[in-house]
């Protein structure tokens, strides 16, 4: 009726309706949540994986990422660096000898270079 073998059904019932992998995932999720909370919810999967490895828990990074995704845990992205360089208004600017006209009437009259 259920489409499973009788032996498989009773094995599932003996386990309490939960596979060994699901049980291991639940215990691992509690460890991941603890590491994530200890980092003030800033660590993503690579850093959580590194902390778990340092604690002696051997698990793949992709499994950590999957369990974090299922638990709704996300790391915080680093902000982009903002350039704080300000031009010195008192600095002497070189004179514009061609008045922004880069067309030359004849060869060897105007020499320019690309700053970039």
**Cα–Cα distance, 92 to 86 (Å, whole number):** 15
pTM of the model: 0.60
Q: Which two tokens stand for residue 3?
A: 């489409």
Question: What is the three-class DSSP state of 22?
Answer: helix
Q: Is the dihedral of CA 40, 73, 17, 20 positive or negative?
A: negative
pLDDT in tens, the chain (116 residues): 778 999 988 888 888 877 889 989 999 999 999 999 999 999 999 999 999 999 999 999 999 999 999 999 999 988 888 877 777 777 887 888 878 887 888 888 877 777 76
Q: What is the DSSP string of 63-89?
A: HHHHHHHHHT--PPPPPPPPP-----T
């Amino acid at each position: 009726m259920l489409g499973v073998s009788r032996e498989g059904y009773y094995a599932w019932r003996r386990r309490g309706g939960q596979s060994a992998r699901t049980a291991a995932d639940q215990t691992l999720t509690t460890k991941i949540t603890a590491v994530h909370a200890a980092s003030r919810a800033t660590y993503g999967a690579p850093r959580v994986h590194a902390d778990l490895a340092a604690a002696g828990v051997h698990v793949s990074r992709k499994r950590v990422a999957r369990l974090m995704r299922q638990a709704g845990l996300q790391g915080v992205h680093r902000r982009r660096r903002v350039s704080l360089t300000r031009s010195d208004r008192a600095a002497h600017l070189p004179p514009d000898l061609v008045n922004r006209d880069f067309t030359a009437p004849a060869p060897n009259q105007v020499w320019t270079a690309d700053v970039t």
